[in-house]
Amino acid sequence: LYRVEGRDVYLDLPLAPWEAALGAKVKVPTPDGAVDLSIPPNSKVGRKLRLKGRGIPGKSPGDFYVVLQIALPPADTEKARELYKKMQQELAFNPRAGLGV
């Protein structure tokens, strides 16, 4: 669940696409218990949110980092497939646009 680098603790936190796009308040598990964390709108995969001083304790305590990940809902129902098709039609989005292809 957690990984440690020096005195810092990291957690990969899965988000729904709408939580990342619109912003949200989510519960995050930490070694000291769950905390409420505000996810800023337009958050991208890999963004790190820091909880200062919540890492490994010591003279200079480490920080706790939440690394955002996007979890896609499965397209396993007709309704879900319709919603994905609607987004495809209405959103001008090409995730490979910056690759020059």
Distance between start and end Cα atoms, the chain? 37
| pLDDT for the residue 84 | 96
Which residues in the chain show pLDDT less than 70? none
Contact 11, 22 (CB under 8 A): no
Check whether domain 2-73 has CATH 3.40.350.10, yes or no: no
Burial 19-52 (b: 16+ CB within 10 A, else e): bbeeebebeeebeeeeeeeebeeebeeebebebe
Q: What is the pTM of this model?
A: 0.89
| pLDDT for the residue 101 | 75
Per-domain residue ranges of the chain: 2-73
